[in-house]
């Protein structure tokens, strides 16, 4: 709803940044670290994401079409996503985050997998994040960042005198940026379609001492509002894109 100017017509992961869906930018963050197999949990307007990938070759290449009953298509160039493997799973229109993850368990191979949202980009070192996760041996790692206040922050004295004023400062607290690394045991903590990982799963893991924080001091930005959409596209136009290295 906060990005309704764009999401009224398309799902949020397809909202463009620099002419490419933000989903593409997120996948490139992983691909540059050597991780090129993806599972997409589809919900709102998920058919549009399916169409995007079904038509990816034609929309990303020059091609030659031979018409007729034995027609074929020859692609004349190679895009950088040649070896991407993308599984598109319909996880339901009303399903919450935990339920979506549970529904793709059958597609996840191995003991470790990574998870993130479809609206945030960062200059995160994925290999360092993965190394940190394997080093501590717990079930889950969440990437944390210092949030930037959306408002000016004032220090006010007893008599109402403003002692200091900072316009949208970086705060000392930590907040989740997504970019999780998870052990397969994580699936035991997620339930049906009404399960939120943020309200249930992660809180339970924290209580049990199984949730660790990877501190990311670099760039992170989540596209939550139309203003955020404009900001990210403005960064792209200026060539200031730290998430694209």
- In contact, 125 and 29? CB cutoff 8 Å: no
Q: Is 159 among the domain residues?
A: no
pLDDT digits (tens, 9 = 90+) for 8-54: 788 999 999 999 999 999 999 999 999 999 999 999 999 999 999 99
pLDDT (tens digit per residue) in 105-122: 999 999 999 999 999 999
> Does residue 104 lie in a domain region?
yes
- Among 204, 239, 245, 228, which residue's Cα sits nearest to residue 22? 228
Show the domain range for 8: 4-61+77-140+175-238
Q: In this structure, is residue 217 part of a structural domain?
A: yes
- pTM value is 0.87
Tell whether 124 is covered by a domain.
yes
pLDDT in tens for each of the 245 residues of the chain?
Answer: 666 666 778 899 999 999 999 999 999 999 999 999 999 999 999 999 999 999 998 888 888 888 887 778 888 877 788 889 999 999 999 999 999 999 999 999 999 999 999 999 999 999 999 999 999 999 999 999 987 766 566 677 776 666 666 656 555 678 899 999 999 999 999 988 789 998 899 999 999 999 999 999 999 999 998 999 999 999 999 999 999 87
Q: 191, 96 in Cβ contact below 8 A?
A: no
Mean pLDDT of the chain: 89
Q: How many domains does the chain have?
A: 1
Residue 169 inside a domain? The answer is no
Q: How does strand 140-145 pair with strand 211-215? A: parallel
Q: Give the CATH number for residue 100.
A: 3.90.550.10
Nearest to 100 by CA among 190, 206, 9: 190
- For residue 204, being part of any structural domain is answered with yes
Q: Look at residue 125 and tell me if it is in a domain.
A: yes
Give a yes or no: residue 81 inside a domain.
Answer: yes
């Amino acid at each position: 709803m906060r990005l309704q100017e764009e999401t009224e017509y398309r799902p949020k992961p397809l909202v463009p940044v620099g002419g490419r869906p933000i989903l593409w930018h997120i996948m490139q963050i992983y691909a540059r670290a050597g991780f090129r197999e993806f599972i997409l949990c589809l919900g709102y307007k998920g058919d549009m994401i399916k169409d995007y990938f079904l038509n990816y070759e034609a929309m990303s290449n020059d091609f030659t079409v031979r018409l007729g009953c034995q027609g074929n298509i020859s692609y004349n160039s190679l895009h950088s996503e040649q070896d991407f493997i993308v599984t598109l799973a319909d996880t339901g229109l009303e399903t919450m985050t935990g339920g979506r993850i549970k529904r793709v368990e059958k597609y996840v191979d191995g003991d470790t997998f990574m998870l993130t949202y479809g609206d945030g980009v960062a200059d995160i070192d994925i290999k360092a994040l993965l190394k940190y996760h394997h080093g501590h041996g717990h079930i889950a790692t969440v990437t944390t960042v210092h949030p930037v206040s959306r408002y000016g922050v004032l220090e006010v004295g007893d008599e109402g005198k403003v002692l200091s004023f900072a316009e949208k400062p970086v705060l000392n607290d930590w907040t989740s940026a997504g970019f999780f690394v998870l052990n397969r045991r994580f699936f035991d903590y997620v339930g049906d379609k009404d399960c939120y990982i943020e309200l249930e799963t992660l809180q339970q893991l924290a209580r049990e001492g199984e949730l660790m924080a990877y501190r990311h001091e670099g760039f992170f930005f989540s596209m939550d509002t139309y203003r955020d959409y404009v900001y990210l596209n403005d960064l792209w136009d200026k060539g200031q894109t730290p998430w694209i290295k």
